[in-house]
Structure 1
Amino acid sequence: MYFRHSSDIWSAFPELAAGVLYVEGIHPDVSAADYVTQFEAAAKARLTDAAESDLPEIQAWRRGFSRMGLKPTQYRSASEALLRRFRKEGTLPRIHPLIDLCNAASLAYAVPIAVFDLDKVAGHLEVRRAAGSEIYVTFAGETEHPEPQEVIFADQEGRAHARRWTNRQSGYSAVREETERVLIVAEGLHAGAASDVERLIDELGAAIRSVWSVNPRTAILERLAPRFDS
């Protein structure tokens, strides 16, 4: 499989910084609690001085959503939604060690992180504009179709694995207990995103290596090198 952003996404968002991790050997029978605690502590420190809406990473995604024709307070990036819940509740629900880890890293960096079960992805995965015929399955099992020109994560068979770019992932390819092989994608639009995303990918890769005793493959994508091949 391969992952990429389409050329028109790079053209419309030249400030995009993206990093990926490809991981095999994931399972739920581990504890990532130490790393989750460290990432959450970093997020708490940032939220002591500012609300999530004041963070430059979140403001950049709000501007990005506005450029996509979306109301940024109606459709929030995944990182903003997580930070908002974390600020109000002081914690996030525990779902799966990998999801808990990636959610905590997203909190710390205020950067959206998507995690896809690759056994549910047909062929390649591309961030592109929707035709409107793609199939999206919610976590409740309901079927939707993205709006034409909406930015989605789409596979080779026309299944949408995320809607409104970083707003909402599909339940179809969500990580579950039986998940073994995943693609993790982190994306930033803020000034300094390139170095922040690279650092995030390095830290997340080190945590995964320690917790699961596996060796993730990582890459930083850019307009001139937009594709990752597994």
Structure 2
Amino acid sequence: MTLTLTVSDEVRALVPGFTHLAIEARGLVNGPSDEASSALLDEAARRLAERLDGRTPDQDPHVAAWRAAYTAFGAKPSRTRNSAEALARRALADGGLPRINRLVDAYNAISVAHLIPVGGEDLDRIEGAMRLVRATGEEEFTTVAGGEETVEHPEPGEIVWCDARGVTCRRWNWRQGPRTRIDDGTTDALFLLESLAPMTRGELLAAGDELARALERVSPGARITVRDPE
């Protein structure tokens, strides 16, 4: 069954021009990071350094657009950075990008190379449709703090991704909850690429195509479908 994704009118009114691209991948075989997934991350870090050419990630126009979007719904972009900026900063720092597992490495590499937020969800753990909404503050977000599971609530007006059970990602694309996270046992997954102007539609599609190829590289034989909302 194809997962339904919706973006609320409130979000579209607050941040006009937002668009996304979804990739469904089924029959995946995940596992610990390996030579292939590590190579994707190394190449992404090289491409990022070339793109920035000495600038900091927040000076990139697409990252700057995400910072403005965060400010629009009341978040502080220097304290809660969007996932693309946070990964880019790690890529440029000593130690570089973390190695998580083959699938996460693949989508993190695309995020860094294209400076675009990319998320991954285990399809078997999503309940009902996924919606991008402005939170009421009553929604539940299950996370882990101090090694123990805990429930938080988003701020009223905060932009969140949620399913029928609760919030799956807070502050748009800042922090994913562990409930739907991709792990070594994931076989079916949804990957979400999110963009704002000045990123063009062609650039978004190019990033999606590259992610599809990366998934095929780290998990040969997977059935991959690119879902273009337009």
TM-score of the two chains, using structure 2 as the length reference: 0.89
Provide the residue aligned with 1:193 in structure 2.
200
- Aligned pairs for 1:1-150 within 5 A: 1-29=3-31, 31-140=36-145, 141-150=149-158
Q: Aligned partners of 1:71 and 1:99: how far apart in 2? A: 26
Give the aligned length. 221
In structure 2, stretches of 5+ residues that fail to align are: none
The letter for the 2-side match of 1:18 is: H
Q: Aligned partners of 1:11 and 1:220: how far apart in 2? A: 21
Provide the residue aligned with 1:161 in structure 2.
168
Residue 169 of structure 2: SS of its match in structure 1?
Answer: strand
Q: Aligned partners of 2:217 and 2:79: how far apart in 1? A: 38
Residue 93 of structure 2: SS of its match in structure 1?
Answer: helix
**Cα contact 1:17–1:193 (8 A) shared by 2:** no
- Aligned pairs for 1:197-216 within 5 A: 197-212=204-219, 213-216=221-224
Q: Deviations over 1:83-132 (max 9, x none)?
A: 11221125211111111111111111111111111222101111111122
Residue 25 of structure 2: SS of its match in structure 1?
Answer: strand
Report the alpha carbon displacement of residue 217 of structure 1 after superposing the two structures with TM. Answer: 0.9
Q: Aligned partners of 1:64 and 1:164: how far apart in 2? A: 10
RMSD of aligned alpha carbons? 1.7
TM-score of the two chains, using structure 1 as the length reference: 0.89
Residue 133 of structure 2: SS of its match in structure 1?
Answer: strand
The letter for the 1-side match of 2:164 is: Q
Q: Aligned partners of 2:144 and 2:22: how far apart in 1? A: 23
Q: Aligned partners of 1:195 and 1:90: how far apart in 2? A: 32
Runs of 4+ in structure 1 deviating by more than 4 angstroms, as ranges, are none
Bigger Cα displacement from structure 2, 99-108 vs 35-44: 35-44
In structure 1, stretches of 5+ residues that fail to align are: 226-230
Residue 146 of structure 1: SS of its match in structure 2?
Answer: coil
Q: Among 205, 215, 218, which residue is 2:226 paired with? A: 218
Report the alpha carbon displacement of residue 178 of structure 1 after superposing the two structures with TM. Answer: 1.1
Q: Deviations over 1:55-89 (max 9, x none)?
A: 11110001111111222112210111111122112
Q: Aligned partners of 2:180 and 2:167: how far apart in 1? A: 10
Report the alpha carbon displacement of residue 156 of structure 1 after superposing the two structures with TM. Answer: 1.7
**Cα contact 2:45–2:92 (8 A) shared by 1:** no
Identity of aligned residues (%): 28
Report the alpha carbon displacement of residue 190 of structure 1 after superposing the two structures with TM. Answer: 2.8
